[in-house]
Amino acid sequence: MVRSADGGQATVVRAVTVLGRELRGTAAATGTVEVKGGKLVVEPRSTDFGGPDVLSDATAVVVRRFVTVKHDIEGLPEGLVLQDVAVQGDGFRANLRGEDIKLAP
């Protein structure tokens, strides 16, 4: 699940599996939302495992790899490219760019 967070960031919440075992509960990571290579990327800046901060700090680097989201925007007409994205309370606002784009009805 992805939701908006303070400061124009997004929060990703998901179950975490380490060494083949699913951890109890979920991990939440809050981070920046950017466009890299035409993909929507949510990269964590902070994590929360619902446990002691020592545990969160010690495992944050490992878990960040699992909660970073890199997503292609599907269904765009050929030639239309994602340029920028901003997080809003009701979703994402995307800026796209292209030339001679044909929109099918």
**pLDDT value of residue 61:** 66
**pLDDT value of residue 56:** 56
**pLDDT value of residue 60:** 62
Residue 105, domain member (yes or no): no
**pLDDT value of residue 54:** 52
Could you list the mean pLDDT of each consecutive 10-residue stretch along the chain, which spans 105 residues? 87 77 75 89 78 57 69 86 90 90 81
Spacing of C-alpha 26 from chain mean position: 16
Residue 90, domain member (yes or no): yes
Number of domains comprising the chain = 1
> 52 lies in which domain range?
2-97
How many Å apart are CA 70 and CA 47, to the nearest integer?
Answer: 17
**pLDDT value of residue 96:** 92
Angle (CA) 88-62-87 rounded to 5° is 5
**pLDDT value of residue 46:** 79
User: What values do phi and psi take at 79, rounded to 5?
Assistant: 95, -10
Residue 103, domain member (yes or no): no
Residue 104, domain member (yes or no): no
Residue 60, domain member (yes or no): yes
